[in-house]
Amino acid sequence: MPSTNLTGSDREFLADLQTLLADPAQQDNPMREPLVRLLEQFLGQRERLERLVRISDGYHHLARDQRLSLVEQYDKQVRRLEKLARISDRYQNSLRELSLALRDAALHDPLTGLANRRFLMERLREEADRSKRLKRGFSLAIMNVDHFKHINDEYGHEAGDLVLQAIARAIESQLREYDQCGRWGGEEFLILLPETPLDQAQAVLERIRVAVAEINRVGGEISTRLSASFGLAEHLHEENFSATISRAYQALYAAKAAGRNRVEQA
C-alpha cells in the first residue's frame, strides 16, 4: 500500500515490519498472525482515511467551484437586470415622448401649428371658470380671412394653405405672451385675450389686422392683397362662453357687411 502520508521513520518502520512478517523464519512465530491482522487493519484504516480525505478535498473544491459559479451567475444576472432596466428606461422615455407628441398632435392644427378647436375649447372653459371665480373678464374674437375662396379658386388649395400659414405667423407676432390664438376651422381663427377689456382688445386686433394687410407675397406666387375681418366680444360673468362666441360671430357678420377688413365689437 502507498505510504505517501507517512513520515520517513514511519515508512522505514512499516517496511521493516513487512520484511519481518515475510521472513520464512518467522512463519512459526506466535506473534506473526496477530501482527499480520493488525497491519492489515492499519493499512485498511489508512486507505479509508485517505479516501475520506480525497472526498473531503473534492467536496471543498466542488463547493468552491459552486461558490464561484454562483457568484458568476449572480454577476451575470445583475448585468442582465441592469440591461433590462436600461431598456425599460429607454422604452418608458419613448412612450412618454410618444404620448407627449400624440397629445401635441391632438391639440394643434397640423397646417398652421396653432392650437386647434379642441385645445381652444379647453382654454375657453378654463378661462370662463377663472373669470367667474375671480370676477375678471376676458375678450375673444373670431377672425375670418376675407375673400379666401377667391384665393383658393385663383391660385389653388396649396397656395391657400400657404396663406393660412403666413396669416398664423402674423397673428402670433402681435399677441402678448398670455394671449391664445388658434385655428377655429377653415379660414377662421379664434383669438382669446385674458383679462382684457374691449378697448385694449380692440387695439390688439387692430395690430393683427394691419400685420395681415402687410403680407405682400406668399410663396412667391400670390400677389393679391390680404385682409381679415374681426368680430370682438367681451365675456360676461353670467353667460356661458358659447354665448360669448355667438356674440363675436354676430360682430363678425357686421364687419363683413360693413365692407370687411375691420374690427367690429358686439
> Nearest Cα to 229, choosing from 195, 193, 265?
265
Cα separation, 169 vs 261, in Å, equals 18
Residue 187 among the catalytic residues = yes
On whether the CB atoms of residues 212 and 174 are closer than 8 A, the answer is: no
Residue 76 grid coordinates:
451575470
Which of 127, 187, 234, 264 is an active site residue? Answer: 187
List of residues 6+ apart from 212 with CB closer than 8 A: 145, 167, 170, 171, 226, 227, 228
List of residues 6+ apart from 116 with CB closer than 8 A: 107, 108, 109, 182, 183
- Which residues are annotated as catalytic? 187
